[in-house]
Each structure stands twice: as structure tokens, then as C-alpha cells.
């Protein structure tokens, strides 16, 4: 794999030098986290699942009462992120969309002028062994925010509860932490969605009450259906994880990570299971096509 492309930034469609790109201190995204964002993989010059990420960004903006971004302009920004990217190069594309500048106070402006920032950032240096051999995961004390407080379909810029959860470990060998809701049901990881395999069936937490339905999570459910692997979304108690045959995590950057250890105990025999491997291979084949 070759080195990644250099960083790049566009603000409201205008190119900016990465080391000098700025937005106003009066921007409500800076002041209040009043906005939404998306993170996607840039592979071989193309943003993977671009339409799905744009759709979710627009849906989140509408749910916050913001005018959604102009789709053609956003697509132009994403296309620009792929310019000059060589075959085999990878990068992360992050889109930040805020309500724009406003005065002091929580009341949003009557006619907002949103700010759109699109960035090309380095690919994370996760160990290759995490994909092949599985990852170590812990259960966080921090609880996930209820969907009654903030609609889980909104990928909000305010990520404080996930930040606090991520502060619960410093061991670099631990890849992720899992969050439960107030009733002790598993919701998601700090940056991933969780899947369990029990007696040949794939189960992922029902996110109707809280949690973000990931783009890769949705794609993997489609892949499971195409392979004839039973899959369902339902409430998943934390206690069920200890007896699962397999566990794995998904997001738009890592794809599928098998989980080999949870809270210091091996998942099954401590090796990636056959259904995880099958889904991982099928998803990678779709993205490689």
C-alpha cells in the first residue's frame, strides 16, 4: 500500500490551505456543536458509499431544522477530495455541516447560513492484525444518550458522551469500547456498530431508542440477506455477549473487525468465527468491485 495523499480542505466550496483553514468563532458548530458530520473512506480516489453518507448528512440536518446542504456542491467537494489520489492510496474524508454563525444564545437564527467543511485526512494506522486476528474490546461505564434526548439518526457534532467513554481506557491494545443504554442494553461502540452471532444468526442492537445506524451496518445487513444468513435487529442485553459464538464491529473506515476478547475474556475460542469471516470477505469483495 502506498503512502496516503496530502491533507486537503474546502470550506463552502472554496479551497483552503490545510494549515490556515478557519471558520468563525461565532459559528454555532464551534459554540454549541450545532451541526452534523460524516466520516467516509476515500479509496483509489473515490469516496466509498458517498450517496449513503450524503443522504444521512441531509437527513440529520433536516431533523435539526437546518436547510440541508446543496447536494451538487457537496458532491463536487467529495469529487475534489479524490483528485490526484493514486491507485492504492487511502484517506479519510470528513464532512462537517453547521448551522453557521449566530449571536450569543441557544435560539437558532431565523435564516441560517450553514457552513460546509470537507476535509481529506490521513488514513488511521490501525494494526493489520486487528482485521485478521480480531480486536480487544471493553464495556464502558458511560451510558449512551437516550433517543428521547437526541434522535439517534442525527450524527451530531456534539460527541461528548462518546469522548467521555473513550477516556475510559488508555491501553493501545484495546481497539474499542461498548456503550449500553440506561437499561443495560448494548447500543454501539464509541465509533462502531456491534454485531453478535448466535446459533448461526446475526444479531445487531435495535437502534430505535438510541444509537446511530451506521452506513456499513446497513450494508452488512444487506450482505447477510444476499448470502442467506439470518439476521435481525433486536434489543441485545449485555449478558448475551458473553455467550455469543462470534462478535464483530463495523464502521466506514475499518469495515469489519472481528472481536476476539471482551472485558479480558475470550469470545468463544478467541479466533474470528466463520460467519464473521464470510461477511467480512463478501463486504470487501463488494467494495473492491
What is the per-residue pLDDT across 102-138, written as a single tens digit (0 to 9) for each? 888 999 999 999 999 999 999 999 999 999 999 999 9
What is the per-residue pLDDT across 201-251, written as a single tens digit (0 to 9) for each? 999 999 988 999 999 999 999 999 999 999 999 999 999 999 999 999 999
What is the per-residue pLDDT across 132-187, written as a single tens digit (0 to 9) for each? 999 999 999 999 988 888 888 999 999 999 999 999 999 999 999 999 999 999 99
Q: What percent of the chain has pLDDT over 70?
A: 99
**In this predicted structure, what is the pLDDT of residue 192?**
98
What is the per-residue pLDDT across 196-213, written as a single tens digit (0 to 9) for each? 999 999 999 999 889 999
What does the pLDDT average to over 23-45? 97
Measured between alpha carbons, how far is 53 from 216 in angstroms, rounded to an integer?
10
Instruction: List phi, psi (to 5°) of 72.
Output: -65, -40
Q: Residue 5 has which C-alpha cell?
A: 495523499
Whether the model pTM is above 0.85: yes
* Secondary structure string (H, E, C) spanning the chain: CCCCCCCEEEECCEEECCCCCCCCCCEHHHHHCCEEEEEEEEECCEECCHHHHHHHHHHHHHHCCCCCCCHHHHHHHHHHHCCCCCCCCEEEEEEEEECCECCCCCCCCCCCCCEEEEEEEECCCCCHHHHHHCEEEEEEEEECCCCCCCCCCCCECCCHHHHHHHCCCCCCCEEEEEEECCCCEEEEECCCEEEEEECCEEEEECCCCCCCCCHHHHHHHHHHHHCCCCEEEECCEHHHHCCCCEEEEEECCCEEEEEEEECCEECCCCCCCHHHHHHHHHHHHHHHC
Q: Is domain 128-288 annotated with CATH 3.40.630.30?
A: no
Which is more confident, 51 or 1?
51
What is the per-residue pLDDT across 55-82, written as a single tens digit (0 to 9) for each? 999 999 999 999 999 999 999 999 999 9
Residue 129: alpha-carbon gap to chain centroid: 21
Measured between alpha carbons, how far is 114 from 241 in angstroms, rounded to an integer?
42
Question: Domain limits of the chain?
Answer: 8-122, 128-288
Q: Do domains 8-122 and 128-288 have the same CATH topology?
A: no
**In this predicted structure, what is the pLDDT of residue 2?**
52
Owner of C-alpha cell 460524516: 38
Residue 1 has pLDDT above 70, yes or no: no
CATH code of the domain made up of 8-122: 3.30.470.10
pLDDT band for position 39 (50/70/90)? Answer: very high
Amino acid at each position: 500500500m502506498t503512502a496516503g495523499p496530502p491533507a486537503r480542505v474546502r470550506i463552502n466550496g472554496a479551497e483552503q490551505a490545510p494549515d490556515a483553514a478557519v471558520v468563525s468563532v461565532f459559528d454555532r458548530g464551534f459554540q454549541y456543536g450545532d451541526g452534523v458530520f460524516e466520516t467516509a473512506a476515500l479509496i483509489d480516489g473515490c469516496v466509498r458509499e458517498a450517496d449513503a453518507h450524503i443522504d444521512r448528512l441531509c437527513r440529520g440536518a433536516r431533523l435539526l431544522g437546518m436547510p440541508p446542504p446543496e447536494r451538487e456542491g457537496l458532491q463536487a467537494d467529495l469529487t475534489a477530495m479524490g483528485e490526484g489520489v493514486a491507485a492504492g492510496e487511502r484517506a479519510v474524508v470528513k464532512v462537517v455541516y453547521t448551522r453557521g454563525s449566530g449571536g450569543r444564545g441557544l435560539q437558532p437564527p431565523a435564516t441560517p447560513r450553514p457552513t460546509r467543511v470537507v476535509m481529506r485526512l490521513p488514513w488511521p494506522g490501525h494494526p493489520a492484525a486487528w482485521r485478521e486476528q480480531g480486536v480487544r474490546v471493553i464495556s464502558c461505564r458511560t451510558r449512551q444518550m437516550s433517543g428521547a434526548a437526541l434522535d439517534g439518526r442525527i450524527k451530531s457534532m456534539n460527541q461528548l458522551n462518546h469522548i467521555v467513554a473513550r477516556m475510559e481506557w488508555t491501553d493501545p491494545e484495546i481497539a474499542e469500547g461498548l456503550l449500553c443504554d440506561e437499561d443495560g442494553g448494548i447500543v454501539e461502540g464509541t465509533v462502531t456498530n456491534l454485531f453478535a452471532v448466535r446459533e448461526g444468526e446475526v444479531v445487531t442492537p435495535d437502534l430505535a431508542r438510541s444509537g446511530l445506524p451506521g452506513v456499513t451496518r446497513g450494508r452488512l445487513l444487506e450482505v447477510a440477506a444476499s448470502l442467506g444468513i439470518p439476521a435481525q435487529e433486536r434489543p441485545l442485553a449485555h449478558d448475551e455477549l458473553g455467550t455469543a459464538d462470534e462478535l464483530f464491529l463495523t464502521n466506514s473506515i475499518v469495515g469489519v473487525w472481528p472481536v476476539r476478547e471482551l472485558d479480558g475474556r475470550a469470545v468463544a475460542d478467541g479466533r474470528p468465527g466463520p460467519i464473521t469471516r464470510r461477511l467480512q470477505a463478501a463486504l470487501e469483495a463488494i467494495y473492491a468491485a
